Amino acid sequence: MEDCDVLIVGAGPVGLATAIELGQRGVRVRVVDLTDDVGFRPRAKLTNVRSMGLMRRWGLAQAVRAQAPLPADYPSDVIFATGMAGHLLTRFENAFRCARERDDQFPEPAQWIPQYALTRVLRDHVRTLPSVRLDYGRRFIGLAQDDDGVTAQIAPTAGGEAVAQRCRYLVGADGPSSPVRKALGIRMQGDHGYARNFGVVFKAPELSGRNRLGLGIQYWLTNPACPGIVGPMERDLWFFGTQVPPQVDIDTLDPAALVRRCIGLDIAVEVVATDPWDCHRLVAERYREGRVLLAGDACHLHPPMGGYGMNMGIGDGLALGWKLAAVLQGWGGPKLLDAYQVERRQVHERVIAEAVENYSTLTNQLVRDTMMAEGPEGDAARAAVGEEVARVKQREFHTLGVVLGCRYATSPVIVDDGSAAPPDEYRNYHPSAHPGCLAPHGWLADGRSLYDRFGRGFTLLAERDEVAAFRAAAEARGLALTVFVHGDPALTELYAAPLALIRPDQFVAWRGQAVPGDAGAVLDQIRGM
């Protein structure tokens, strides 16, 4: 088998995102997966504002929106009620910021799209990248590494001998049970399987017509018969999920009956897929062993509430992709790969804590004895639950602070400027160019997104074209540096500085009031030399 620069094991959303970041930079990549069957499992439905920003960066935002089954004006409301034809408890509008509105804080709103549909968009794009080869029907068996590279054993799933695949680096994006992680002997640390859940995808053509709650993306149905969450995936195709108590044998569950009890309607329910899954709170003890790195569910697992798992993994793909490309192409140094775990683990731990907090209040915790009663007693119980939900659950649906406020507080490749970090809130995002933060977004006078002016490599944002020393230092190093002279005092105010260096992943690496004496030293630090 021909050598490649990077072998990616796993063509889930994270492996494909990594392949796109590498392949768009011309890196020779091979991606292998057991199967091209993306299935109908009720996994990620939310591609959040950060991931949609990355889709735009990769030129895929329109394709993602075009493949989303629900209409563009479908509201991303989350509705709490006693049943689909029952009593409303409370409603969160524009959850996750999916509304197609222009917002100063980000270039793309979030998108409600099933994981299988998003995966197909990523896969189709990967197939257009000349330096990437995508092979299904291949199983990763094991690996050995030396100073120059990795030799992986890849076997056809249809049977036959394993073949050696040589690569400079290997990425394990092979999901929760990660054979790559296991081959390295890396353990997951934290709480294993602390709650059991049961998911169902079902067809119910009558359900839309019987819905008395209005349009929404999630219906949290809180009733004693079967508390659970229901929501649309496609026209007449729905997902359902409920927590399963420890004493119940999952194999004895009747999926259609559970769905009917939860929605409170005796209608036809055709089960398309079932998906039992366990809740974990885990991170890998290390994300790297020599030339092998882990990304996505292979190195972090947590409850899905808040819709963070796949989105965080897509962020891993970006983080790893540009760093590997920089090292392979010589414009970055070895510290970039050391920085991968340092930087990403901070984000993972912050987000996982949030997801675990969200999972602590589900529909079953909100059931009250009298909430199904008609009349004043039932009204009072429902009002009390509605108030509790509005208070406790809003952090799950208004998450801009979590999604865009993630920052790399410590990193060997970010230059601290001694300024105070912005407030760390789950709900409100405080745009800041404090080094290590996501570059604050803005719309330019010509209507374009600031992010669209960033280059593929590093970008220097400058109010005035007085940056000759940076240009010279970049040229001397053969480093592609996009200089964007904006001449806009408002942008300088947003960044609290006339100069800022932005990394390929849109994070601020350095900012300053003037070009430093040794501009080359700054460039060398941020590119990991």
Ligand X SMILES: Cc1cc2nc3c(=O)[nH]c(=O)nc-3n(C[C@H](O)[C@H](O)[C@H](O)COP(=O)(O)OP(=O)(O)OC[C@H]3O[C@@H](n4cnc5c(N)ncnc54)[C@H](O)[C@@H]3O)c2cc1C
**Residue (10 or 149) nearer to ligand X, CB:** 10
274 beta partners: 200
At residue 350, what is the residue type?
A: R
* Cβ proximity to ligand X, 308 vs 408, nearer residue: 308
Nearer to ligand X, 43 or 407 (CB): 43
CA 292 to chain centre: 21
Nearest approach in angstroms of CB 168 to ligand X is 19
DSSP string, 441-461: P-B-TTS-BGGGG--SSEEEE
13-23 helix and 309-329 helix, angle to the nearest 10 degrees: 30
Residue with smaller CB distance to ligand X, 94 or 482:
94
Tell the smallest beta-carbon distance from residue 133 to ligand X (Å).
Answer: 14
Shortest distance, CB of residue 411 to ligand X, whole angstroms? 23
Whether residue 243 contacts residue 362, with contact meaning beta carbons closer than 8 Å, is answered with yes
Q: Which of 5, 33 has the CB closer to ligand X?
A: 33
How many alpha carbons lie under 13 Å from residue 175 in its C-beta half-sphere? 10
> What residues contact 48, with CB distance under 8 A and at least 6 apart?
96, 110, 307, 308, 311, 399, 403
CA gap 515, 470 in Å, rounded: 7
Q: Locate 280 and state its tokens.
A: 């974990």
Kindly state the smallest distance separating residue 95's Cβ from ligand X, in Å.
11
Tell me which residue of 1, 38, 299, 16 sits closest to 154, measured CA to CA. Answer: 1
Residue 357 Cβ, how far from ligand X at the closest point, in Å?
A: 16
CA-based nearest residue to 240, from 281, 195, 210, 270: 270
Burial of 44: CB neighbours in 10 Å, binned 0-12, 13-18, 19+: buried
> How many CB atoms are located within 10 Å of the residue 370 CB?
13
**Residue ranges in contact with ligand X by CB under 6 A:** 9-15, 32-35, 42-46, 115, 139-140, 173-175, 179, 199, 241, 277, 296-297, 304, 307-311, 313
- Give the span between the Cα atoms of 80 and 389, in whole angstroms: 8
242 or 492: CB nearest ligand X: 242
* Smallest gap from residue 42 Cβ to ligand X (A): 6
Q: Parallel, antiparallel, or unpaired for β 78-81 and 218-221?
A: parallel
Please give the Cα distance from 84 to 208 (Å, whole number). Answer: 9
Active site residue 495: no
Give least dist CB 308 to ligand X, A: 5
Nearest Cα residue to 239 out of 35, 46, 15: 46
Query: Which one of 116, 136, 169, 219 is the catalytic residue?
Result: 219
Nearer to ligand X (CB atom), residue 45 or residue 441: 45
Task: Closer to ligand X by CB, 51 or 492: give it.
Answer: 51
Burial label, 72 (beta-carbon count in 10 A; 0-12, 13-18, 19+): exposed
CB of 481 to ligand X, least distance (A): 32
Give catalytic residue positions: 219
